Every structure is written in C-alpha cells, then in structure tokens.
C-alpha cells in the first residue's frame, strides 16, 4: 500500500459530513458541537454495566462517523444538510442505550417486553437485556431527551430515532418505518442513512476499538470476552476503499482465525443487506461491493 | 513519527511532529500508555502538528479519558489553525481544555 497515495485519498474523505454541515447549516452544526461536548461525558456510562465490554464511548461514535464518511465518499455532497445532521447525530447517539440509567431502564423495559424476554432467557440478566435491546433503548432515550440534545423539530427527532435504532435488527426495507421525509430545505432518506450507519457500525472491529490507554485486558475472565478482545487485537486496520472493505489481519493466536473469518462473513452479510436496502429504498448507493480479509506479513 | 516527551515532576509534555493521522496515531497511542504512568497532568503541545485526522482526535480523547480516570488532567496548547479548524468542525473544541496563545 503506497502511503502517500493512500494518505491523500484518506484525507480527501476526512470529516466530509462535518464540513458539509458546517458550510450548509451553521445552526445545525452548532447543535451537533454542543451535543458532542455533552456526549463525550455521557457516553462513558456504558462502562457501569459493561466494565470489560468493547468500547462504546464517544471513541466508537467517532469511528462510526469516520467510516460513514469513507463509505459515502463524494456522495456526501448529495446529502441535504438535514441528512448530514441526522447521520452525524445518529453516529453519536446510536449506542446511548448501552449506558441507560437504572431509572430510565425501569421505565422503558416493559415497553420492550422484558417479562416475556426473561421467561425465554431465565439464565440471563438485566445487562444481557440491555445489550439485546440497546438499539431500542437508544431510540427511546433520544426521544425522551430530544430537548437536551437540542434536536430542533419532530421530523429530525423521528429521523434520528429511526436511523439510530436502525444500526441493528430493524427492517430497513419497511417504508413506513423508514420513509423519505420531505422538507422545504431538503429530503431525509432515512433508509439510506440507516444502511450507511449499520455498515459503519459493523466494521468498527479493529484494534483501535479498545485503546491501550483505556482498556486493560488482564481484567477479562469470560472466554467469550477474551476471544472478542483477541479478534479486535488481530484486526490491525479496517480499510474502506471506494469499491471494497479490507480487514488487514495479524492473528493474535492461530485458534482465533476461524472466529476472525466468521466476523468477516458477518460483515459481508451486513454489507449485502445494507447495499440491497440502499438500492431498494433510495437513489443513493453503498458502492463498496465486497469485504476482503488480508493476512498481514508480520515476519522480518 | 517524531514525538518528544518532557517530564517535570508529575507533568508530562508531549510534542508530536507532523500529521497525526491513521498512520501515525497508532504509534502515539502505543507510546502514551507507559508515558502517563505516575503523571497527573499531560500537556499536548501541537505546535509542530500540521494536520490531525479523526484517528488523531481519538488518541487525544483516549488520553483525556485516561487522565480523568487517574484523577489527572490533559491540556492542549499551541494548536495551529489546521488543528483548531478540525477541533471546531468536529465539535470537540469545547470538549477539551484548549489553551490559546
């Protein structure tokens, strides 16, 4: 990989959404900036329930936003300012449900079928429920705290809720759930934005997901958690090109290779789904066509 | 990447040089963890940094959060126009202690 060529290409896609929003709507950009300041603190709260879990702080939000920029490339210029705002805010808010307060959790869980879920999963606990339903909890929290997040109108609240929920499990082909919202100053293509976010979230699997500065793997005891950390450590870089996504891998241990391959296949399935949803539901496209796994040469 | 470290008691000053991007940020991240042991204040001097990408911002946030966990603090000084533009564009200018001048 030629660094200079790659670096030039990467820089061209740096902060595309943020630049566009600042240029086209300083007011919405200001609202994002104010929100980021708050969320840098607020998003740390996931660690209370999930102290050894993969990072879900503002660092992950920024990763997802960067991947959205790279997935979109020059298509970011085709998004309306309101779409840029929705996607940026959804990058920051999509996992806020992971750090839900006990008070909010107790008020929301019945809406999500807590007692039925517990009956089906007697061996699991509240933390598992939050993990399983965190996308829905995020949606509920965004709506409840829309004024705190300074989301200026109902269309934008709805769009951010749907796109944020849409980072997992929801049906992006459902036109009622994911409509195109028309407004005088531009359309919000919620299905396309959700598809981009879902893919960006899924590919945040690299080693930087758990920074050395913040994550001490010696505290991990559950084999599943140890393996997940090992997979992250093994994926040295996630490279998003115009036409493909490449996972550059240096396996930490040979026994992790099948799991890394499974992870790659899962990302392929997400890419396929998101490409199909984008094509079916909008005039914009996810242009990346394949996910490749490249084993890095670590010798010499 | 050239990174200069200066310790004065429990204050660590870090002076990276050049761009902090997806190529250089991992090295900065790797070096920071052992450097901040026993440190109560980290000063990031960005005078010689001509560009910072999202990867670079992540290292700053991770350092800031790591210092907060240690009940310490992090400050950014001498950020030039290219860096300040990125901090303002991403909304992070108010999320850090940035000392101008």
pLDDT, tens digit (0-9, with 9 covering 90-100), for A16-40:
999 999 999 999 999 999 999 889 8
Structural contact between residues B85 and A23, judged by C-beta atoms closer than 8 angstroms: no
Residues of B with CB under 8 A from a CB of A: 19, 21-23, 25-26, 29-30, 32-33, 36, 51, 53-55, 57-59, 61-63, 65-66, 69, 86, 88-95
Find the CATH number of the domain harbouring B86. 3.30.750.24
Tell me the pLDDT band of A298, cut-offs 50, 70 and 90: low
Tell me the pLDDT band of A47, cut-offs 50, 70 and 90: confident
The pLDDT value given to residue A212: 72
B62: helix, strand or coil: helix
Our CA-based measurement puts residue A207 at a distance from the nearest CA of chain B, in whole angstroms, of 9
The pLDDT value given to residue A7: 46
What's the structural domain count of chain B? 1
The pLDDT value given to residue A98: 92
Our CA-based measurement puts residue B81 at a distance from the nearest CA of chain A, in whole angstroms, of 15
Contacts of A191 (CB under 8 A, 6+ apart): A172, A173, A175, A178, A180, A277, A278, A280, A281, A282
Q: What's the average model confidence in pLDDT over B45-54?
A: 94
Chain A residues with CB-CB distance to B63 below 8 A: 213
Q: B23 and A3 in contact by Cβ < 8 A?
A: yes
Q: Measured between CB atoms, which of A14, A40, A207 is closest to B54?
A: A14
Residue of A nearest to B86 (CA): A15
Q: Measured between CB atoms, which of A10, A22, A35 is closest to B89?
A: A22
Tell me the pLDDT band of A208, cut-offs 50, 70 and 90: confident
Chain B residues with CB-CB distance to A3 below 8 A: 23
Helix A16-24 and helix A26-42: axis angle, to 10°? 130
Q: B54 and A10 in contact by Cβ < 8 A?
A: no
Domain extent at residue B25: 2-99
């Amino acid at each position: 990989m030629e660094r200079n060529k790659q670096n030039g290409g990467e820089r061209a896609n740096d902060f595309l959404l943020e630049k566009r929003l600042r240029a086209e709507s300083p007011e919405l950009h200001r609202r994002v900036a104010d929100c980021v300041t708050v969320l840098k603190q607020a998003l740390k709260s996931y660690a209370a329930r999930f102290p050894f879990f993969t990072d879900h702080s503002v660092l992950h939000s920024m990763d997802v936003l960067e991947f959205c920029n790279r997935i979109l490339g020059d298509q970011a210029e085709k998004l309306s300012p309101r779409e840029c705002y929705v996607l940026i805010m959804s990058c920051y808010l999509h996992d806020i449900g992971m750090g839900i307060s006990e008070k909010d959790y107790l008020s929301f869980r019945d809406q999500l079928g807590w007692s039925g879920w517990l009956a089906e999963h007697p061996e699991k606990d509240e933390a598992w429920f939050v993990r399983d339903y965190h996308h829905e909890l995020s949606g509920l929290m965004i709506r409840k705290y829309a004024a705190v997040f300074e989301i200026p109108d109902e269309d934008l609240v709805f769009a951010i809720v749907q796109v944020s929920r849409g980072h997992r499990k929801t049906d992006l082909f459902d036109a009622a759930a994911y409509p195109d919202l028309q407004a005088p100053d531009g359309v919000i293509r919620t299905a396309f934005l959700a598809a981009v976010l879902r893919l960006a979230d899924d590919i945040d699997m690299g080693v930087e997901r758990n920074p050395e500065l913040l994550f001490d793997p010696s505290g991990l005891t559950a084999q599943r958690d140890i393996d997940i950390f090992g997979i992250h450590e093994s994926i040295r870089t996630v490279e998003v090109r115009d036409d493909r996504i490449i996972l550059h891998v240096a396996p930490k241990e040979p026994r992790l290779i099948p799991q890394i391959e499974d992870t790659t296949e899962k990302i392929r399935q997400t890419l396929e789904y998101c490409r199909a949803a984008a094509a079916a539901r909008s005039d914009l496209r996810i242009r990346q066509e394949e996910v490749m796994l490249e084993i890095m040469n670590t010798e010499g | 990447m050239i990174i200069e470290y200066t310790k004065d008691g429990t204050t660590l000053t870090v002076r990276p040089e050049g761009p902090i991007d997806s190529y250089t940020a991992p090295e900065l991240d790797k070096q920071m963890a052992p450097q901040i042991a026993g440190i109560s204040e980290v000063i990031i001097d960005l005078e010689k940094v001509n560009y910072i990408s999202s990867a670079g911002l992540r290292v700053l946030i991770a350092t800031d959060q790591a210092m907060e966990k240690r009940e310490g603090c992090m400050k950014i000084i001498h950020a030039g126009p290219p860096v300040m533009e990125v901090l303002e564009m991403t909304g992070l200018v108010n999320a850090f202690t940035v000392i101008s001048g």
